[in-house]
Structure 1
Amino acid sequence: MCCGRRASTPRRRCGRWWTSCARGCSRPRRPSPAVDSPAVDSPGVARPLWRHPEAAPRGLPRPMATVSEALSIALDHHIAGRVAEAETLYGRILEAVPGHPDASHLMGLLLAQTGRVAAALPHLDAAVAGDPASPTYHLNRGKVQDALGQTVAAAASWLATLRRQPDHGEAAERLAPALRVLAETAFDSGALASAAALYERVLALDPQNLSATFDAAMAAKGLGRLQEAAWLAGLSARLDPALLRARMAEAEARQVLGQTERAIAALRPALALDPAQGGCWASLCLLHNELGRGGAAVTAGRRAALAAPADTGLLVRLAAAQQIAEKPRAALAAARRGLSLDPASTELHLALGAAFDAVHALETAGRALDRAGRLRPGDAAVLAEHGRLCERAGLTERAAALLQRALAARPDDGDSWVALGRAALRRGDAAWAGRCARRALRLAPGLPPACCWPARSARRRGPMARRWPSTTG
C-alpha cells in the first residue's frame, strides 16, 4: 500500500499515468475521463487537449478536455477582457484542432481588436475555409480586409455575406460605400462602363444615395447614354432640390436629345433658387435661341452677362442671341465689351464681324474676321462666316475658296452651301450652283424660297461647260 504522501511530479509507466509517493512506493492512478478521454468535438480528432491537470492554463477548472468546453471558457475570458488568457486558450485549441472554424474566427477577432489586423486575416480566412456557409465569418473577414485597405476583397466578402443572408443589414450598409469607392476609382481611371455598373449596384443597395446618383449620371453621360444620364440627373435634383449641378446636367442632356422644352423646365427651378447663376442663364439663352424665341433669348443672355460681367463666354452667347433677335447694334456692343476683357478671343472677333456684317459695315467686318482667322487658322465657323461675307461683298473667288474649306470641315452647314451656290452662279456655273442648292435643301428642307433661287436658275440656264473643282462632294 502507498503511504499517501504524493510526489509533486507524476511518473509515466506503460502509457498510463502513475502517482508515487516520496518513498518510491507507487500505485496506478484511476483514469479520469475528463483528462484521458480524447476530444471528439471535431471529426477525425482523437487526442486530448492536454494530458495532465498541471498542463492546463492557470485559472481553468481542472481537468478539462473537450473543445466545446475549452472554447466556452476562452470566450468568457475574451468577453471579460482577459485577452492574454483567451489568446492562450484559442492557441491551444488550434494546436489540437488546426483550422477549427470557431476558434479561428475568435482568434482573428481577438487579434484585430488588439491592433494586430494583418495577423488576424489568416485566421479569418481559415474560419471561412472551415465553414463557408457562415455569413458572420464573411462579414468579419470583410471588416479586416477593409481595415487593411483591400477594398475589392472586402466588397467580395460582404457580397458573400448577402448571398448567404440577403437581409443582413450591416453587410449591405458596409458594401455600399465600398462599391462607391471602387466606382469612383474606375471613373477616375476612365473605365466608365465599370463605374456605371458599380454605381448601379450601389443604388440597388441605397437608392437614396445622392452622390452615387449624380456620379452615375456623369458616368452615363460619358458613355453617351444621354436618356439615362438625364433621368439620373433629374433624380439627383429631386433628392436635393438645391443641387444646381444636377439641374444643369439634366438640361444639357435633354438639349442634346432634342428635348428643348424639358431642358428649359429643368433650368427654371435652379434659377428660382439662385437667380445669380450666370451659367444657367446662358444655357437658357441657347435653348430659347433653338426655339426661335429671340426676345426670351436676349433677356436670358443679359441676365447671364449681369450675373458674371467678366465672363467673356457669356458675352459671346449674348451677342449671338442678339444677332438671332435681329438686334445687331446690341450684339456689336456685347462683342466690343467682351473684347475689352479678352482681345485675343476668336469667338468675340467672330461675333464682332457678324455684327458689323449685319449693319452692312462689310469692310470692318472683314477685318474682324481676318483677325479671327489669324487667331484660329482653319476654324470652320470662321471660314464659313468670312466666306459668306465675301460672297455678299461680291468677292466671288475668295468666297468660293473660303466656303469650300469650311464645308470640307463641316459639310452640314446649309447656309454655306447656299452661299457657295450663289458664288458659283456669279461665276457662271449654274450646274454647280444647282447642286449646292439641292444639298442645302436636303440639310434644311424648311429654307425660305428665296434661298433656292440658284437651283431654279440652274434649271433655267442649263449646264455650263465650266465646272468648279471641289472636295465637298
Structure 2
Amino acid sequence: MDKLPQDGLFVAKAMLIGWMALSKVAFSQEPSAALKKADAAYRAGQAALAQKDLSAAQADFEQVVQLAPQAEQGHSALGAVLVSRGQVKEGIHELERALAIKSSDSTAQMNLAMAYEQIGSPEKAIPLFSRWEVEARLEKRPLPSYVLAGYARSLAANHQIGLAVTKMKAALTTDSQNAGLHDELGSLHAQQKDWAHARGEFAKAIQLNPNLAVAHLHLGLVMQAQGDKDGMSELMQAAQLAPQDAMIALEFGKALVAEWKDEQAIPVFQQALELEPNSIAASYQLALALQRSNRAPEAIVLLRKVVAAEPNNAEAMTNLGMALCQAQEAKDALPVLERSVALAPESVTAHQNLAAAYVQLSQFGDAVVELRRALKLEPDAPQLHYNLGLAFKLQDDAVGAIPELETAQRLDPSAPEAPYLLGVLYMQTGRYEDAAREMNVSLKLRPENGDGWATLGSVYDKLNKLPEATSALREAIRQLPGQPDPHLTLAAVLVKQNQPGEASAERRKAAELMRSNMNRQRAEVATNAGNSALRNNDVASSITQFQDALSYDANYAEAHLGLAAALDRQGKTAEAAAERQKAEAVKTLGNP
C-alpha cells in the first residue's frame, strides 16, 4: 500500500488547542519550562508538516514525546508521521500509546486503523474504522475517500467482500476520477467472480489513466477468465508499462503458462527473479516452467531453493522429487518424495511420483504399494491403472498387469499406451489374436511407433498372416532404419512366402546394421576414454583414443570434436578447425 496522503495526518490546530488546554488542566498553574519547550516543538512540527517536511516534523514530535510523555497529542502526531514515512510498526506503537492515554482521540483512531490495514491486521483495523464511521455520521461529515478505501481493504482482507464493495463505491462517490480506486473496486468484483463489473471498473481506470500498468494487468486477467483471447495484449501492455515491476512480470508469466507457452514464460519469470532475487514465488514458477521444458537440472537448483525456504511445502517437494527423477537421480529423489507423501498423504501426485522413483530404482514392489495407495484416493484415474499395470509387467507379473491395463484402456480409450502394452503382454502369453487386435488399436491412435509395427509384424507371423506381417515389418523398417531386428524378422517371413532372394537381402541389411551398431558402440567407448584422458591432461593418449574411435566410425561427431579439443591443446589450431568442420558436416547429415 502507498504511504498515507498528507491530508491523512490529522495533526491540525485543533489538536494544539487541546494540548494547551490539557496543560492547564493538569497543572492548574503556569506551564513549566519543559512544557513550554514541548509546546514550541509541537508548533514547529505543525509548521514542518505544512511544508511537507516529514523528517523535521518527526524530530519535533519526538522531542514533544520526550518532554511531555503523558500528552496524547504528541504520541498521536508522532505515530501519524512515522506511519506516513513507512516506519509502520513504530508508528503503531505511538498511536496505541496515544489511545491508551485518551481513547476518544478520533485522529489517532483513524491513523491507527490505516496503519493496521497497512500491516495486514484487518481484525484490529475494522473496529476502529467502524467507530470512526459512526462518529462521522453523527457529526454529519463525510469520510475521506482514502479512509473509506482503507476500510474496504480491511473488510476484503477479512473476507467481507460484499461490504468492502460498498465502502469502495462510497470512496468513489467523493473521488470519482481516482483511477486507482476504480482498479481496486474492479479487483473486489473479480474476487466475487463478477467479471462484467470488474471489467468495467478496470476499463474505467485505464480510461482515467492509460499508463496505470496494474489496471491493464487486471483487465487482461479478467478477459482471460472470460475466455477473451485479447486479454494477453493487455497483459503485455502492463509488462511494457512497468518493466521493473516484479509482480506484474510474475503474473504475466503465469498467464503465458496458462496458455501452454512455457518457452515464452521462462524469460519473463527470469526477469521477475532478477527484479526480486529473493522471490520464492518467482523461483517456483520459473522452476516449474523449466521442468516442463525438460530443463530438469536448472529446475532442480530453483526447487531446492524453494524447499529450503518452505520446508513444509509438499507440492514443491513433489516437483523437486520428480525433477530429480527426470535427471536420473532417483536415489536423491527418494527421501524428498517420501517427505512429500508424509506431508500430503492425500496427494495422488505425491504417491505417483514416489512410485516413479521406485521404478527407476527397480524397486517395483514398493512402486506397486504406492500406486495402490494412489488408486484408493482416485480409483478412476486411467494413468494410475496404466502405471500399476506397467509396474506389474516390470515384475514379470502378466496376471496382475493385464487387468490394470484393460481398466486403463476402458477409462481412456484415446490413449495409445495401454493397448500397446497389452499387445506386448498378450503376445508374450501366446494370445496372438488378442495381441494383434490391441496392437492395431494402439497404432491407429499413434501410427509413428516403429517398435509397435515390429511387434505387430511378429504377431502376424505367429498367426501365419504373412502379407500383413510383411506390410507391418516394412513400416517398422521405415520408422527404424537403424534397427537390424525388423530386417531379420522380415527375412524369416519372406522365406515362408518362398522369396529367398528378398530374404537374403534383408539378412545382409541386418548384418550391415549390426556391424555398424557394433562399430558405433566401440567409437563411443573410445571417445569416452579420450575425453577422460583429456580431462587428466594426457593429451597424447586422448588423441590416440579419438583416432581409434574414428577408425571404428568415421561419422561419429563427438570423436571429431574431442580430437579437435586435443589438437587445440597442442597448438594445432588449423587441424582442430578441420575436425570441427567434419563434425558439423556429420551433424548436417543427421549423425550424432
TM-score, reference length from structure 2: 0.46
Is 2:400 the partner of 1:364? yes
CA shift, 1:214, in A, is 1.7
Mapped pair 1:177 → 2:209:
no
The equivalent of 2:44 in structure 1 is none
1: CA distance between counterparts of 2:308 and 2:318? 15
What is the alpha-carbon distance in structure 1 between the residues aligned to residue 178 and residue 277 of structure 2? 39
1:407 aligns with 2:446: no
TM-score w.r.t. structure 1 length?
0.56
Shift of 1:382: 2.2
Higher relative contact order (CA 8 A, sep 6+): 1
Give CA-to-partner distance per residue, 1:123-169, whole Å, 9 cap, x none: xxxxxxxxxxxxxxxxx69789989966435524534xxxxxxxxxx
- For residues 197-222 of structure 1, give each alpha carbon's deviation from its aligned partner in whole angstroms, at most 9, with x where no partner exists: 32333233333433321221122234
2:433 matches 1:397: yes
Q: 2:484 aligned with 1:455, yes or no?
A: no
Could you tell me whether the CA contact under 8 Å between 2:451 and 2:476 is conserved in 1? no
Partner of 2:253: 217
- Indicate which of 356, 365, 370 corresponds to 1:320: 356
> Residues 367 and 383 from structure 1, CA distance in 2 versus in 1: closer, same or farther, beyond 3 angstroms?
same
Flag the 1:348–1:218 CA change in 2: closer, same or farther, 3 A. Answer: same
Residues 215 and 367 from structure 1, CA distance in 2 versus in 1: closer, same or farther, beyond 3 angstroms?
A: same
Give the alignment of 1:39-188 within 5 angstroms.
151-152=202-203, 154-159=205-210, 172=211, 175-188=212-225
- The offset of 1:376, in angstroms, is 3.7
Partner of 2:474: 435
Cα offset, 1:231, TM superposition = 1.5
Q: Deviations over 1:412-466 (max 9, x none)?
A: 4455444334323433445245335325526xx7xxx6xx523322145427669
Provide, for residues 368-410 of structure 1, a one-character-per-residue CA deviation record: whole Å limited to 9, x for no partner. Answer: 3233334444542322222222122222211121122122223
Between Structure 1 and Structure 2, whose CA radius of gyration is higher?
Answer: 1
CA distance in 2 between counterparts of 1:334 and 1:308 reads 13
Q: Give 2:218's aligned amino acid.
A: V
Matching of residues 2-21 of structure 1 within 5 Å: none
Partners of 2:397 and 2:330 in 1: how far apart? 23
Distance 1:285 1:377 in 2: 30
Match of 1:131 in 2: none
Larger % of helix: which? 2
Structure 1 residue identity aligned to 2:313: Q
- Cα gap change, 1:340 to 1:152, in 2 (>3 Å): closer
Equivalence map 1:232-271=2 (5 Å): 232-239=268-275, 244-271=280-307
Alignment match, 1:162: none
Q: What is the CA-CA distance between 1:229 and the residue it aligns to?
A: 0.3
1:322-361 matched pairs, under 5 angstroms: 322-361=358-397
Contact 2:172 2:178 in 1 (8 A): no
Deviation per residue, 1:287-311 (Å, 9 max, x gap): 3443444434445443432332221
Residue deviations 1:72-126 (CA, integer Å, cap 9, x gap): xxxxxxxxxxxxxxxxxxxxxxxxxxxxxxxxxxxxxxxx9995878xxxxxxxx
Answer yes or no: is the 8 Å Cα contact 1:298–1:325 preserved in 2: no
Give the CA deviation at 1:327: 2.0
Give the whole-Å Cα distance in 2 for the aligned partners of 1:337 and 1:187.
37
* Number of positions where the alignment pairs a residue of Structure 1 with one of Structure 2: 312
Matched to 1:387, the amino acid is: G
Q: Secondary structure at the match of 1:462?
A: helix
Residue 237 of structure 1 contacts residue 243 of structure 1 at CA under 8 Å; is this kept in 2? Answer: yes
Aligned to 2:424: 388
Label 1:437 to 1:320 Cα distance change in 2 as closer, same or farther (>3 A): farther
Percent identical residues: 24
Matching of residue 274 in structure 1 with residue 300 in structure 2: no
Distance 1:143 1:339 in 2: 49
Q: Do the aligned residues in 1 keep the contact of 2:355 with 2:367 (CA within 8 Å)?
A: yes
CA displacement 1:228-252 (0-9 Å, x = unmatched): 2012223334555665554343233
Equivalent pair of 1:183/1:195 in contact (CA under 8 Å): yes
